[in-house]
């Protein structure tokens, strides 16, 4: 890989700035000042420092975004802002969201350029558990909670035309929100289109606000404001890859 690409991937600056920084001796390769910004490096084995700080090599990038409502889970869109537009300080080349949240859904969204991991996490056989916080228009009964948990007809069909029921899920009633709406934490093991909203519709209710709060080992914590993002920790990446 070229040194300037490696430095750009670490958000050191634009190619033009990097050229200048290298000329000023701020970057070292294995202890020696780099002579030119377009030299080729062995990014996995060479020790690259910038202003004395060691830059570690990472082939892929992983971010956890707290998606706000009003942005689309896509890499490009003709009219609306996309989730990638929120990764302001990152080199977004190659990044894409892992799955989709509806435009009006908030919460945890994994964004990465690790296509293999995205494929694994979205594959129907390996779907990881996802938990959603659903605020409801009407109160929900224990019986309806049981129906959500057992599996429901939400309108999808099997090849033979029979109802393609949802898989068993887990539902827990939380505290009411500020408007007095009932809140249910629903954990599902699938990722069908509008699944959570359709599950509540199937029991005669309506979701008025939806937020994803976890996906496999990833949890949305209060310190990440709506619209903000953070890189995943090494431990989170390891757990995700292990399918935990
Ligand atoms: N289920 C939905 O209905 N919407 C989402 O955004 C995610 C899951």
pLDDT tens for each residue of 158-217: 999 999 999 999 999 999 999 999 999 999 999 999 999 999 999 999 999 999 999 999
| Residue 155 half-sphere exposure toward CB, CA atoms < 13 A | 12
Q: Is 214 in the pocket of ligand 1 (CB under 6 A)?
A: no
DSSP annotation string for 56-79: PP-SS-EEEEEEPTT-BSSS--SS
Average of pLDDT values for 102-108?
A: 98
Is 244's pLDDT higher than 80? no
How many other β-carbons are positioned within 10 Å of the β-carbon of residue 205? 21
Q: Alpha helices of the chain — where are they, by DSSP H?
A: 3-9, 15-23, 115-122, 142-150, 195-202, 234-241
Q: Is 194 in the pocket of ligand 1 (CB under 6 A)?
A: yes
Is 221's pLDDT higher than 80? yes
- Does this chain's domain 3-55 share its CATH topology with 58-126+222-244? no
Which of 8-22, 30-44, 150-164 shows the lowest mean pLDDT across its residues? 8-22
Structural domain boundaries in the chain: 3-55, 58-126+222-244, 129-215
Q: Is 101 in the pocket of ligand 1 (CB under 6 A)?
A: yes
pTM: 0.83
For residue 177, what pLDDT is reported?
Answer: 98
CA of 102, closest atom in ligand 1: 6
Instruction: Return all residues near 18 (Cβ < 8 A) that are at least 6 apart.
Output: 3, 4, 7, 8, 12, 37
Q: What is the CATH architecture assignment of 129-215?
A: 2-Layer Sandwich (3.30)
42 is catalytic: no
Q: For domain 58-126+222-244, is the CATH number 3.30.70.580?
A: yes
- What mean pLDDT is reported for the chain? 94
Does residue 217 contact residue 52 with C-beta atoms inside 8 Å? no
What is the whole-number distance in angstroms between the Cα of residue 207 and the centre of ligand 1? Answer: 10
Q: Which tokens in the block code for residue 61?
A: 């990038």
Q: Which sign, positive or negative, has the C-alpha torsion 171, 173, 176, 182?
A: positive
Report the CATH fold assignment for 3-55. 3.10.290
Q: Which tokens in the block code for residue 62?
A: 């992983």
Greater confidence, 139 or 8? 139
Q: What is the pLDDT of residues 117-146, one digit of tens each?
A: 999 999 877 779 999 999 999 999 999 999
């Amino acid at each position: 890989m070229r040194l300037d690409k490696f430095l750009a991937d670490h958000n050191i600056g634009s190619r033009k700035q990097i050229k200048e920084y290298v000329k000023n001796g701020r970057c070292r390769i294995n202890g020696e000042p780099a002579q030119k910004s377009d030299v080729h490096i062995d990014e996995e084995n060479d020790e690259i420092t910038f202003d004395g700080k060691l830059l570690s090599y990472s082939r892929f990038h992983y971010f956890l975004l707290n998606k706000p409502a009003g942005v689309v889970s896509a890499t490009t869109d003709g009219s609306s802002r996309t989730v990638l537009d929120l990764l302001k300080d990152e080199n977004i080349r190659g990044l894409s969201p892992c799955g989709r949240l509806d435009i009006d859904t908030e919460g945890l969204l994994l964004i990465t350029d690790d296509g293999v991991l995205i494929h694994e996490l979205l594959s129907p056989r390996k779907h990881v558990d996802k938990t959603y916080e659903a605020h409801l228009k009407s109160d929900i009964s224990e019986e309806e909670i049981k129906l959500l948990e057992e599996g429901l007809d939400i309108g999808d069909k099997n090849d033979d035309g029979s109802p393609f029921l949802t898989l068993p899920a887990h539902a827990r009633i939380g505290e009411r929100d500020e408007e007095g709406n009932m809140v249910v934490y629903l954990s599902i093991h699938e990722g069908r289109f509008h699944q959570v909203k359709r599950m509540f519709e199937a029991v005669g209710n309506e979701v008025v606000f939806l937020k994803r709060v976890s996906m496999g080992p990833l949890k949305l914590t209060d310190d990440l404001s709506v619209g903000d993002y953070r890189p995943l920790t090494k431990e989170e990446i390891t757990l995700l890859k292990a399918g935990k």
